[in-house]
Structure formats: structure tokens, C-alpha cells
Amino acid sequence: MKFRLKIWRQAGPDQPGRFEEYTVDNISPDMSFLEMLDELNEELVRQDKDPIAFDSDCREGICGACGLMINGMAHGPKLGCTTCELRMREFPDGSLITVEPFRADAFPVIKDLVVDRSALDRIIAAGGYISVNTGSAPDANAIPIPKEIAEEAMDAAACIGCGACVAACPNASAALFTGAKISQLALLPQGHPERERRVISMVNQMDIEGFGNCSNHGECEAACPKGISIVNIARMRREYIRAVRTGGQVRASV
């Protein structure tokens, strides 16, 4: 297959960027989008040009490192799929493909298509954990959890932190990411002792990082490679409302 590519090039964080056009040929339809970019980069290196910087790690859809805006869609046109899992057969032969970095002021561009997503890590650090006394591992079934709850928590926990939700949101909101992280803990008893502090702390951090507000467009759910539902955003809001009403303090535990 043959493609024309319009790719965002930017030398560094505060440098101006621009689109450049490339052509790739002899692309197998079974190649992933990243493998296609690898081919292009090898060609650029052969021509002694600067290869295109993009992120990737596992290349099997589990690490969340990859993530490109392809033809205006986060991770490209296919639902439930990361950029590394996206195959070139999804695109018509000979077509023009536009590739941009995930754009949000909270995700500054580092180089070309690579953005700094550590804002998401700081949201986690603000409260996306539980505090326990370490020691011998507790028995897995010591706390019985109904299957539906466990499933719901597991679905929220499928988030790989790729940032596609932010990239796809017209407001660059991190509500789905934060909602998933809060939900996975709010659903389980282990998350309950700190739930009020957690939601307030994480929501504050989300705002400090400069993400936008959620307008319920629901585009994040479509962009999410793990199909995480916006019901997690509603759950985060319930958690937030109860936390504000109780003054953000932990309920008396006696």
C-alpha cells in the first residue's frame, strides 16, 4: 500500500511547529501504524534527515505510551484500539493521513509527536492509591466483593493512562481518566477509608494541571482504547458531591 502523510514536526517544547508531507510505499496492510512510521523513519535516516519522534513501548496495547491524533481521531479511526494496534488496512490505499500530537495545554509537546503526559501521573500521585500497612499479603478472598462490583471496578481499572480521552475531548478534559481512577477505588471496600480526601485531592490536581471541564460530549469513551464508560465520570461526580457535603473529611469510623 501507498500513503501520503502529513505529519506535525516540532523541534522542541517552545519551538514553532509545522506540517510536513511524506510519501511511503510498499506498506503491508498488516503493518501497524507505528511500524509504518518506523519504515518512514528508516528512510529519513538513510537520507540523513531527522527521524520523526513518537512514543511507544509495549506495542501490544497495554502500556499506554503510544498515542497519536490520526485524521483527527485519537488512536485513529478504529474503536477500542491503540495506535500500536492499528493496522494500515484500516486506511484506503493511496490516501492522505494527517498525524498530529495529542493536543492539550496540560500535555506540552516535547518533540514532533511526543507529548509530556506526566500531568496524569500527578493526578494519580494526588490520591489514586490506598494506604495500607505492608506485611504479609492478605488472603485474596478475605473481603467478599460481589461479582458485578468487581467487574465494574475491573472495567475502570483497564485504563492504561494513554491520554486519548484528553486528546479527543473538545475541552481537553481529563474527566474520564480521573473518573476511572477514582471509580476503581471507590467501588471497592479497600478504597473507602480515603474516598473523600481522594476525590477532592485528585479533582483539585486535575484543575491545577489546566485540563478543561467535561461537557459530556462522550467523545472520550469512543476514543478510549479500553472502552471505559463515561458512567465513571458520573460516579466521580457523586463521589465529589458527597465529599464536598461532608467537608472533605473522612467519616467517623467508629
Partner 1 sequence: MHGMAKDVTRKGTWQTSLGRKVIMGLTGILLIGYLIIHLTANLLVFAGDGGRLLNLYSHSLHQLGPLLFVARIALAALFIFHIITGIRVVIQNRKARSTRYTMAASKGGPSKMTPASRWMAITGLILLFFVPWHVNMFTLGPYYETVIDGVPMRDLYRLVVERFKDPAIAFTYAAVMLFLCMHLAHGFWSALQSLGALNRRWLPVAYTVGVILAILVAGGFFILPLYTYFFVPMPA
Q: Which stretches of the chain bind ligand HEM, using CB under 6 A? A: 213, 215-216
Residue 28 partner contact from ligand FES, ligand HEM, partner 1, none using kind-dependent CB cut-offs of 5 to 8 Å: none
Residue 189 partner contact from ligand HEM, partner 1, ligand FES, none using kind-dependent CB cut-offs of 5 to 8 Å: none
| 61 near ligand FES (CB under 6 A) | yes
- Give least dist CB 42 to partner 1, A: 26
Pick the closer one to ligand HEM by CB: 153 or 174.
Answer: 174
Cβ atoms within 10 Å, residue 223? 26
- Give least dist CB 125 to partner 1, A: 9
By Cβ distance, which residue is nearest to ligand HEM?
A: 215
Residue 6 C-alpha cell reads as: 502529513
- Give least dist CB 157 to partner 1, A: 16
Residue 239 identity (one-letter amino acid): E
Name which of residues 213 to 242 contact ligand FES (CB under 6 A).
Answer: none
Q: Residue numbers of the site for partner 1 (CB under 8 A)?
A: 19, 69, 71-74, 77, 79, 98, 100, 103-106, 126-127, 129, 131, 133, 168, 170-173, 175, 194, 197-201, 203-204, 206-207, 210-219, 221-223, 227, 229-231, 233-241, 243-244, 247-248
Our separate counts of H helices and E strands in the chain read 8, 7
- Residues whose CB is less than 8 angstroms from the CB of residue 134 and which lie 6 or more positions away in sequence, other chains included: none
Task: Cell 472502552: give the residue.
Answer: 227
Name which of residues 71 to 130 contact ligand FES (CB under 6 A).
Answer: 82-84
Q: For residue 158, with 0-12 CB atoms within 10 Å meaning exposed, 13-18 middle and 19 or more buried, which class applies? A: middle
Pick the closer one to ligand FES by CB: 5 or 159.
Answer: 159
In the chain, where does DSSP find H-type helix? 33-46, 118-125, 147-157, 164-168, 175-186, 195-208, 219-223, 231-245
Helix (H, G, I), strand (E, B) or coil at 126: coil
Q: Could you tell me where the beta strands, DSSP code E, fall in the chain?
A: 3-10, 17-24, 69-70, 73-74, 96-100, 109-111, 114-115
Pick the closer one to ligand FES by CB: 52 or 200.
Answer: 52
Cα–Cα distance, 83 to 70 (Å, whole number): 9
The residues that touch ligand FES, with contacts defined as CB under 6 A, are 56-59, 61-66, 82-84
